[in-house]
Amino acid sequence: MAALTTETPDASNNPCLPLPPITGRVAVAFSGGADSTALLLAACEAYPDRVVAIHINHQLQTAAADFEAHCARTCRALAVPLEVRRVAVACGPRQSLEAQARAIRYDTLAAVAKQVNAAVVLLAQHAQDQLETVLIALSRGAGLPGLSGMAPRFERNGVRFLRPILSVRGLQIRAWLDRFSHAYVDDPSNQDTQFTRNRIRHTVLPALEGALPGIATAVARTAQHAAQAQLLLDELAAADAVTVGVPPRIKDLQGLNEPRQANLLRWWLSGIPLATPSAAQLTELMGQVAACTTRGHHIAIKVGAGAVVRDRDVLGFVNTPE
């Protein structure tokens, strides 16, 4: 960790600028790492006297207290209010510790943002993070939702979140911070290659960027295109749902061609918790829908954490016990 500068921060040429216009108080999710440090400095420049930093201490590693103390020192130097929340991450069977920590983090950020009357929470994921996300989605055979990567904006618990630096390269951010001696912490868990994302970061990305310079920025643009295409598909599904109904009426669903059937079924199931179908499950479901030509035809296809079933003339989803 570099020594903390006591001079007035210089935001000139900060690669995180410009930031979008925002009215009201702005919260920045501040871990103390390079990316959130550069974003916090950019926010101070873009929204003077309207910034509050939020640090979530997951208490998962011995350095967590040091990270929290560093964030406090940085915010004092910047004259930025800091809200710290210590959370406990519980991980049940078949649950990812990383996913659980992320869910608790976002819920806590939303709660704190409401408490401090912030209009929006800024998140510091950048182009390399987006590239890692898309590569993981590709490895799983994802469709457009996966290839869209991380959304540039979303809402959680009634609070708006923005990722304004998804097109900025992480190396660019660190180079700028080092040039102006802005302190940041390096999380040692980022070196642990037992995590898929870290293996990609340390082995795959250097090779990709060596062979294809600028790939992170290019993939960030591709993710934007995929997100736009998915938005159009969602609009088509919503239009089809006016005719087919929600939940879908089987006879009307059969009147759509196969791509529109698949699109509508994905859209319908995406609105149900833990009901995301695999490609094989969706194919099996569509085959059963096509075969459903008699009153006694039975449908019960496992999908996600439950099953899609026939309920007279419509499809329904039921949760199944583990």
Q: What is the pLDDT of residues 128-163, one digit of tens each?
A: 999 999 999 999 888 899 999 999 999 999 999 999
Q: What is the pLDDT of residues 244-289, one digit of tens each?
A: 999 999 999 999 999 999 999 999 999 998 898 988 999 999 999 9
Identify the pLDDT of residue 95: 63
Provide the whole-model pTM: 0.85
Q: Coil, strand, or helix at residue 84?
A: strand
- Taking the C-alpha atoms of residue 169 and residue 194, their distance in angstroms, rounded to an integer, is 24
> Hey, what domains does the chain have and what are their CATH numbers?
25-217 (3.40.50.620), 245-319 (3.30.465)
Q: What is the pLDDT of residues 59-111, one digit of tens each?
A: 888 889 999 999 999 999 999 999 999 998 876 665 677 778 888 999 999 99
Cα 36 to Cα 22, 283, 311: the distances in Å are 18, 42, 50
With a cut of 70, say whether residue 235 has pLDDT above it: yes
pLDDT band at 5 (very low <50, low <70, confident <90, very high): very low
Identify the pLDDT of residue 11: 61
With a cut of 80, say whether residue 2 has pLDDT above it: no
Q: H or E segment at 262?
A: helix 258-270
Mean pLDDT across 230-238? 97
Identify the pLDDT of residue 93: 60
Q: How many CB atoms lie under 10 A from the CB of residue 312?
A: 8
With a cut of 90, say whether residue 39 has pLDDT above it: yes
With a cut of 50, say whether residue 6 has pLDDT above it: no
Mean pLDDT across 219-228? 94
- Taking the C-alpha atoms of residue 124 and residue 152, their distance in angstroms, rounded to an integer, is 11
Q: What percent of the chain has pLDDT over 70?
A: 94
Q: Coil, strand, or helix at residue 294?
A: coil
Mean pLDDT across 173-202? 88
Identify the pLDDT of residue 94: 58
Q: What is the pLDDT of residues 280-295, one digit of tens each?
A: 999 999 999 999 999 8
pLDDT band at 206 (very low <50, low <70, confident <90, very high): very high
Q: What percent of the chain has pLDDT over 90?
A: 78
Identify the pLDDT of residue 305: 86
- Taking the C-alpha atoms of residue 194 and residue 64, their distance in angstroms, rounded to an integer, is 20
With a cut of 50, say whether residue 168 has pLDDT above it: yes
Identify the pLDDT of residue 170: 92
Yes or no: say if 37 and 177 are a contact pair by the CB < 8 Å rule.
Answer: yes
Identify the pLDDT of residue 59: 86
Q: What is the pLDDT of residues 12-30, one digit of tens each?
A: 699 999 999 999 999 999 9
Amino acid at 224: Q
* Mean pLDDT, rounded, of the chain: 91
Identify the CA nearest to 145 among candidates 156, 131, 153, 134. Answer: 134
Angle in degrees, CA 86, 92, 94, rounded to 5:
130
Identify the pLDDT of residue 100: 84
